[in-house]
Amino acid sequence: MANKRDLKKLITATTDELFLETIVLSNLTNQITSEKTEELLSRIADMKQDFLARMNGCGGKDPKIVQSYFRKFKEDFQNQINSIIDEFESFHKKA
């Protein structure tokens, strides 16, 4: 299992990349309104804050509990990323 520092760096890098992609996409296509852009940016910022806060509550010292906690954590993070990427793809299809 990666340590918490590596996971925090991964979360920060991934959300920063999504943030940048949202800004670039909004500037390149006319299909995205400024309200939708602000909504996506807010959603990404909230996601980053939520997952960084969840890093500290790993459920104790029992390795099995900690392992299952971070397995669920990574799964939730990946699902959030996939949801945002699906929205990006829907904008590309409209353009």
Domain boundaries in the chain? 4-94
| pLDDT single digits (tens) 26-83 | 888 777 788 888 999 999 999 999 999 998 877 678 888 888 888 999 999 999 999 9
Nearest to 76 by CA among 92, 53, 94: 53
What is the model's pLDDT at position 77?
95
